[in-house]
Amino acid sequence: MSLCSGLPGGARRPVPEGPGAAPDPVLRGPSIIAAARPLPGGPPPMPSLLERFRRLAPYFRTSRTGLAATILGATLMALTEPMLADLMKRLLDEGFTGQQIPLWMVPAAIVGLFTLRSAAGFLSQYGLAWAAQRAVLLLREAMFARLLRAQPALFAQQTASGLTNSLVFEVQAGVQILTNALLTLVRDSLTLVALLAYLLWLNWQLTLFVSVLFPAVAIVMRKLGSRLHRLTVESQRATDELAYVVEENVLAWRIVRLQGAEAPQARRFMQRADTLRRLMLKVVVAGATMTPVTQMLAAVALSAVIALALWQSGTGGATVGGFVAFISAMLMLVAPLKHLSDVMAPITRGLAAVERGMDLAEKTPAESTGGHRAGTDLRARGEIAFDSVTLRYNDEGAPALDAVTLHVRPGETVALVGPSGAGKTTLVNLLPRFLEPTAGGIRLDGVALHDWDIETLRRQFAFVSQDVVLFNDTIAANVSLGDEAGPDARERVREALAAAALLEFVDGLPQGLDTVIGHNGSELSGGQRQRLAIARAIYKDAPVLILDEATSALDSESERAVQAALERLMQGRTTLVIAHRLSTIEHADRVVALEAGRLVEQGTHAALLAAGGLYARLHAMQFRT
């Protein structure tokens, strides 16, 4: 076990849901996603479209120039629409009949008009894309900043694939969909206004018929939009579940093949995939229903208007050019009306995707922190006290820790031993506040952990586990992780590597300290990865060391060298050693034996052997021949 325990490669299980589901076992307190669950009195009302856009507005605060360019371009484009209809009117009334228009003006007007349309279209599209990408950058920055400061419960309640999908893919795809839909909404709304204004100027009586169309369209869009939003959210959840199954099988492919579990895993995958397929079809049906209904309403209104226009022209109330211009402008209304009827579906999908990112950035609780810092050098003495500490992962099960009281003096080396599930890793997870106790308190240098500044608190601990976590970066960056590069950083890295018996290997690499080690150190052997983790702890030079079988993956020769380095490092520092191989802790100042979450005995190695208790039994089991 380690501080980063979980599924292989850091994958996390889904959050338990439904009545009677067990509370999350990683952190006590309110659920991070509780806000998303229905309230006892029923689900909260869905916010209006304007409220949802208002929530997104702060991320566009630095993009006013792009938005202004978008509005200018869209306005110019909208104005060219009635100009086309008016050009037809003038050609028929003054060109064909009166021969009053010079021939050269016809191509000049047409080419000039379409040149203006093209320039305005480019300006509006580029301006909105520029503004949207700035917003994506700000949103991603906020999401990742909250990810780095979120309560640890987040990483147990949400899967790695789900968080990755939200931060990397959904935000980009959502904003892209939203950008295209908003461009359509702005451009076609302005076009609609321009055409209606022109129609009113041409024939206000006929134009009144058009006003009947809009309330019906608004009602249809609102009714169908609500269902589309619900289905879109459900499809996002189904996508996360499908991605989680893929992630598990990619990370655990060895055990799947070893156990012959390919067939059940394939069925599990197909169940999730089929659920997603059915939801996506429902989304398509909900979105596609809008278009024919809206078009039928438009067709009814348009046919009535054309019939009335023909009747007016028969009474001598309109010219041929005016009639053609009116019909042309009316037909031009069909395209923006159709686009506006279709725009609700992508706006809903885009907003739903972006809102998940905003929920992560704005609603995920950040870690609580105190104001206490260590002395002038921000370094603790290393005195640790557990006072009747109890931790329960759920209310029904047995406690992981049960009223544990333990005092560790500064500079003391304490070994934690016990059978699997005794609570050893849980105990050390409490120190950097990756877990919070259900009852009792923990103090470092006499100050309660929750009173410490969280960053200062975690600088007091260095951790080396048998579960090594490395980054796809250089050796130097992995050793000095979290430390701003100073003038002596590389020399300190070399000293740490030498102390971990790894410098000779690193110097033999073509790029030395600048060698990139691959995903989780895939370019290194198991022993080299563990020695690199030890070098990281040596470099950090923290006053408290936590060692979880730190030499378990090393060969005998390397183990002796690293053990000697660790012993030198442990001098003058408080050290907690989680020991499975009891031969490695015989020289500890004190051995603490845990069983079923309780501290059952403590003392020196020799004293506990003489006492004949739990430690003596474990020792006898390991050394029995």
- Look at residues 503, 170, 224 and name the one whose alpha carbon lies nearest to residue 355: 170
Do 144 and 25 form a contact (C-beta atoms < 8 A)? no
Q: Would the pLDDT of 406 be above 90?
A: yes
For 277-323, the pLDDT digits (tens) are 999 898 888 877 777 777 777 677 667 777 776 776 666 556 677 77
- For the stretch 21-30, pLDDT in tens is 333 333 333 3
Query: Which of 197, 214, 205, 212 minimizes the C-alpha distance to 86?
Result: 197
Quickly list DSSP for 375-405: STTS-----EEEEEEEE-SSSSSPPSEEEEE
Report the pLDDT value the prediction gives residue 123, as an integer from 0 to 100: 92
- Looking at every residue in the chain, the average pLDDT score rounds to 79
**34/206: higher pLDDT:** 206
Confidence of residue 117 (pLDDT cuts 50, 70, 90): confident
Which residue reads 């060298």 in tokens? 561
pLDDT above 90: residue 128 = no
Q: Quick check: 444 pLDDT over 90?
A: yes
CATH topology for 374-460+585-625 is: Rossmann fold (3.40.50)
Listed by start position, the domains of the chain span: 53-363, 374-460+585-625
What is the CATH code of the structural domain delimited by 53-363?
1.20.1560.10
**Residue for token pair 């996508």:** 239
Distance CA 368, CA 570 (A): 31
Q: pTM for this one? A: 0.68
What are the pLDDT digits (tens) for 172-185?
888 888 888 888 88
Q: Please, what's the b/e burial string for 111-128 (b: 16 or more CB within 10 A of its CB; e: otherwise)?
A: eeeeeebeebbebbbebb
Bridge partners, 414 (sequence order): 576, 590
Q: Which of 175, 166, 171, 139 is nearest to 58 (CA)?
A: 139
Q: Is the pLDDT of residue 144 over 50?
A: yes
In degrees and rounded to multiples of 5, residue 525 shows phi and psi of -75, 170
Q: At what angle do helices 344-363 and 213-251 cross, to 10 degrees?
A: 50
What per-residue confidence (pLDDT) applies to 619?
Answer: 84
> Of 21-30, 81-90, 210-219, which range is least confident?
21-30
Given a cut of 90, whether residue 163 has pLDDT beyond it is: no
Q: Which residue has the tokens 């076992």?
A: 25
Confidence of residue 19 (pLDDT cuts 50, 70, 90): very low
Residue pair 345/287 in contact (Cβ under 8 Å)? The answer is yes
